[in-house]
Structure 1
Amino acid sequence: MPDGASGRSASILVLEDRDAVATLTLNRPAARNGLSIALLDALAAALRDIATDPAIRCVVLQAEGPVFCAGHDLKEITARFADPDGGHAFFADSMARCAAVMQAIPALPQPVIAAVQGLATAAGCQLAAACDLVIAAEEARFCTPGVEIGLFCSTPAVALSRAVPRKAAMEMLLTAEPIGAEEARRIGLVNRILPGAALRAETAALAARIAGRSALAVQLGKRCFNHQTGLPLPQAYEVAAAAMVENLLAEDAAEGIGAFLAKRAPEWRHR
């Protein structure tokens, strides 16, 4: 994807890149942007393309309609109860595809910002929690309601429990009660809250600011951050120190330090 503006539209996903920011828009508003197999596949393909595109330095994930994402497509799931195996093969395949997308987001070299304009529920909450940053509209709500239909949100719990404290995650999972944007920010699921009318413009501005940094430094930093958080303290510092050394040896570090000392704007080479 080159710099400048371009885009392409599909029935379920809209992709656009502009000035080093790629925007992925879930586009199944009539189905509450449910994560059908087709939408999961479209997301997986888009993320694969972005991961290898050096022109993209930040990603925004947003959605059309009043709902950010209602989770897995329950109509698609229900239809498979009639399969000879009761849906076993389909359910296993669906969960594997979803898990691959949720892992691709933190593994992506570029930071990913979720812009949540409405309800993010079940795997939709998982999708937001998997992103590096979450910007929410004032009316946004987050929920893991699986227990209400006899289906504990076990896979959403993976991303949720890594984004918020353990007991906050368990309360959401056990009660199925939706939480508003303010509570989501209080527990650490949301970074910023904005009026709904300003959500897309302000999120785009934040993404542009991140995209204006050294891509190499940001990508090294994201990779190191995600790696060290699961390690004991001594190993975490070993990983972080190695990342700092690698970063210091990069051209952009010399340029950035030199620019700071000379009181001028840096000219990033992204290497």
Structure 2
Amino acid sequence: MFILSKYVCNQIKLNSIIIPLRRRFSKGSKLLFLNDERPLTFQQHIHLEDGPPDELVYGRPGVRTVCLYTPENKNALSIDLMNRLIFSIKLDDDDPNLRCIVMWAKGNVFSAGHDLKELTKAAGPEKHKQVFETAEKLMKAIVECPVPVIAKVDGHAAAAGCQLVAQCDLVIASTRSKFSTPGANCGIFCSTPGIALARSISRKHALHMLFTGTPITAEEAYRIGLVNKVVPHTKLDDELDKIVSTITSKSRDVITLGKKFFYEQIDKPLLEAYELGSRKMCENLAHPDATEGVDSFIHKRKPKWQNELQKTPPTDESDPKPSSSDGAGKTTSIIGNLGNSLKKLKK
């Protein structure tokens, strides 16, 4: 059964499967609650009713939340899960109402890393190659995403799971979170996680994590620069709200321009980076939002960006309004069996 909220239109395209996104909201669809006491704007919801609920939503205005949920393997980054994460990041990434993406996980493990069943000798070299090529595409999708990608961590991020966290633009973690790169314990050095680590923290701290495999606490991760904020798990969503509300209030075009340039210049020689930066600043000043921003600052008023965030979802009187028992307005996203469900839909 294919269920969609009344606010979803247009279509999703995945592996040549085109699914029309215009259906009536169905009572009884399963929803998970992010916070029972704080209603969220229900703007985009996909639920493929097949095993654990699969949902992809705009929970808060301008924010897409994506949740890792494969409890049978502690949210391991299998090829299938990584492909679905790539899809979730790239979906409608040119939508002006999309301002940031939040990635989180259900359970006490954010991600245990790669699925070791795909790394056995029996799996073969081609499977191994596919694993790491897919992981590379996932990290690239985060870097090239036009809006900030935020990791909300409330558990243990290990090996490639730690890599995923380190590659995100921002990271907020609970005090009970841990981070580790223990691959050497299994005879597989965390070489690819080390790439993201070495670009987030100092070489000495990265090598200590890679050589020892010892988990570090969230406080230690904050001290060495792996995470941006550490709060008690009960305050995690409150802190997240502060961050995303600040980001979504800004011009999307300017944030996109800034993120793209940051990653372009970060590994450039200093003088070359400054030369490129001067050009980028002039390019930014030519944008209408820069003109508006400067003018609003001078005249002490709130700026009006070209693409103002639409905070109220469109209404359609022909569609039934979901009842409060449906959980509409209090939802988050679950990545479960999306690939299998889409295959069934294709048939």
Tell me the TM-score normalized by structure 1.
0.93
Question: What CA distance in whole angstroms lies between the structure 1 residues aligned with 2:255 and 2:54?
Answer: 26
| 3-state SS of 1:60 partner | strand
Identity among equivalent pairs (%): 43
Contact (CA 8 Å) 1:58, 1:208: kept in 2 or not? no
Following superposition of structure 1 onto structure 2, how do residues 120-131 of structure 1 map, counting pairs within 5 Å? 120-131=157-168
Post-superposition CA distance 1:91-114 (Å, at most 9, x none)? 001110011101110111101110
Residue in structure 2 matched with residue 62 of structure 1 by the alignment: 104
Residue in structure 1 matched with residue 186 of structure 2 by the alignment: 149
Question: What CA distance in whole angstroms lies between the structure 2 residues aligned with 1:59 and 1:193?
Answer: 19
Residue in structure 2 matched with residue 202 of structure 1 by the alignment: 239
In structure 1, the gaps of 5 or more residues are none
The one-letter amino acid paired with 1:7 is H
Residue in structure 1 matched with residue 122 of structure 2 by the alignment: 82
Following superposition of structure 1 onto structure 2, how do residues 180-259 of structure 1 map, counting pairs within 5 Å? 180-259=217-296
Contact (CA 8 Å) 1:121, 1:142: kept in 2 or not? yes
Residue in structure 1 matched with residue 171 of structure 2 by the alignment: 134
Question: What CA distance in whole angstroms lies between the structure 2 residues aligned with 1:172 and 1:14?
Answer: 34
Cα distance, 1:73 vs. partner?
1.2
Question: What CA distance in whole angstroms lies between the structure 1 residues aligned with 2:72 and 2:130?
Answer: 24
Contact (CA 8 Å) 1:13, 1:24: kept in 2 or not? no
Residue in structure 1 matched with residue 70 of structure 2 by the alignment: 28
In structure 2, the gaps of 5 or more residues are 1-7, 10-40, 309-347
Question: What CA distance in whole angstroms lies between the structure 1 residues aligned with 2:138 and 2:66?
Answer: 13
Residue in structure 1 matched with residue 44 of structure 2 by the alignment: 6
Cα distance, 1:243 vs. partner?
1.2
Question: What CA distance in whole angstroms lies between the structure 1 residues aligned with 2:201 and 2:47?
Answer: 34
**Structure 1 144/122 Cα, relative in aligned 2: closer, same or farther at 3 Å?**
same
Post-superposition CA distance 1:215-237 (Å, at most 9, x none)? 11111111111111101111101
The one-letter amino acid paired with 2:43 is A
Post-superposition CA distance 1:42-75 (Å, at most 9, x none)? 0111122143322201111111111111111123
Residue in structure 2 matched with residue 97 of structure 1 by the alignment: 134
| 3-state SS of 1:23 partner | strand
CA RMSD of aligned residues (A): 1.8
Contact (CA 8 Å) 2:89, 2:101: kept in 1 or not? no
Question: What CA distance in whole angstroms lies between the structure 1 residues aligned with 2:167 and 2:89?
Answer: 13
Post-superposition CA distance 1:242-261 (Å, at most 9, x none)? 11111101111111111111
Cα distance, 1:13 vs. partner?
5.8
Tell me the TM-score normalized by structure 2.
0.73
The one-letter amino acid paired with 2:122 is A
Residue in structure 1 matched with residue 23 of structure 2 by the alignment: none
Greater gyration radius: 2
Question: What CA distance in whole angstroms lies between the structure 2 residues aligned with 1:95 and 1:233?
Answer: 31
The one-letter amino acid paired with 2:267 is G
The alignment of Structure 1 onto Structure 2 pairs a total of residues equal to 266
Select between 154-163 and 26-35 the one with higher mean Cα deviation.
26-35
Following superposition of structure 1 onto structure 2, how do residues 42-57 of structure 1 map, counting pairs within 5 Å? 42-57=84-99
Q: Which of 134, 142, 154 is equivalent to 1:117?
A: 154
Contact (CA 8 Å) 1:26, 1:62: kept in 2 or not? yes
**Structure 1 180/102 Cα, relative in aligned 2: closer, same or farther at 3 Å?**
same
